[in-house]
Amino acid sequence: MGPHRVCLLLAALSLLPAADFTTYIGDTHDYRIARVIAGPAGSTYVGGTRDWGMFAIKLDAAGKIILYATLNGKGFDQVNDMAIDAAGNIYLAGITNSPLLPLRNPLQSTPGPGFAVKLNPDATQILFATYFSEPIQALAIDGAGNMYVTGSTNSSDFPVTPGLPAGTVTPPTSINATSAAFLTKIAASGDRIVYSMRISGHGKNCGAGSSCFLSARYTSGAAVAVDAAGNAYLAGNTDTYDLPVTAGSAVAQGTGAFAAKVNAAGNALTYLTYLGAGYHPITPATNPDNLVYAIAADAAGNAYLAGSVFDPSALATDAFAVKLDPQGKAIVWKTPLGGKAGYAAKAVAIDAAGNVWLSGSTSSADFIAALGPAGSALTYHATLPAGTASAGLSPDDAGTLHLAGTGGLVSTLSPAAPLAPRVFGLANAAYGAIGGRVSPGEVISLYGSHIGPAVAISAIPDSAGAMPRTLGGVQVLFDGAPVALLYVSDSQINAVAPLRFSTAAPRISVSVNGSQTTDFNIAPISADPQVFQLPDFSAAAVNQDGTINSAQNPALPGTIVAIWATGIGSTPLNWEDGRLAPSASAFDCCRIVSDKPATVVYAGAAPGIVAGVVQVNMLVSKELAAQGPKVSIALATRDATSKAVWLHVRAPLD
Quick: pLDDT tens for 54-103.
999 999 999 999 999 999 999 999 999 999 999 999 999 999 999 999 99
Tell whether the model's pLDDT for residue 288 goes beyond 60. yes
Lowest mean pLDDT among 263-277, 293-307, 594-608: 594-608
The 10s digit of each residue's pLDDT in 536-559 is 999 999 999 999 999 999 999 999
Query: 13 φ, ψ to 5°?
Result: -65, -35
CA R_g for the chain: 27
Q: Which of 588-591's residues contact partners 24+ apart within 8 Å by CB, and which partners?
A: 589/614, 589/616, 589/637, 590/529, 590/565, 590/614, 590/616, 590/635, 590/636, 590/637, 591/635, 591/636
In percent, the amount of the chain with pLDDT more than 70 equals 95
Identify the three-state secondary structure at position 5.
Answer: helix
Residue 220's pLDDT band (cuts 50, 70, 90): very high
Tell whether the model's pLDDT for residue 560 goes beyond 50. yes
CB atoms under 10 Å from CB of 240, counted, come to 21
Tell me the range of 303-317, 326-340, 437-451 where mean pLDDT is highest: 437-451
Rounded to two decimals, the pTM is: 0.92
CB atoms under 10 Å from CB of 490, counted, come to 16
The rounded distance, in Å, linking the Cα atoms of 300 and 469 is 57
Residue 211's pLDDT band (cuts 50, 70, 90): low
Tell whether the model's pLDDT for residue 427 goes beyond 90. yes
- Which amino acid appears at position 347 of this protein? A
Q: Report the pLDDT averaged over residues 637-644.
A: 93
Tell whether the model's pLDDT for residue 367 goes beyond 80. yes
Tell whether the model's pLDDT for residue 10 goes beyond 60. no
Q: What is the pLDDT of residue 271?
A: 98
Residue 129's pLDDT band (cuts 50, 70, 90): very high
Sign (positive/negative) of CA torsion 112, 114, 119, 124?
positive
CB atoms under 10 Å from CB of 520, counted, come to 24
Pairing of strands 560-566, 457-458: unpaired
Tell whether the model's pLDDT for residue 282 goes beyond 70. no
Residue 210's pLDDT band (cuts 50, 70, 90): low
Q: What is the pLDDT of residue 285?
A: 63
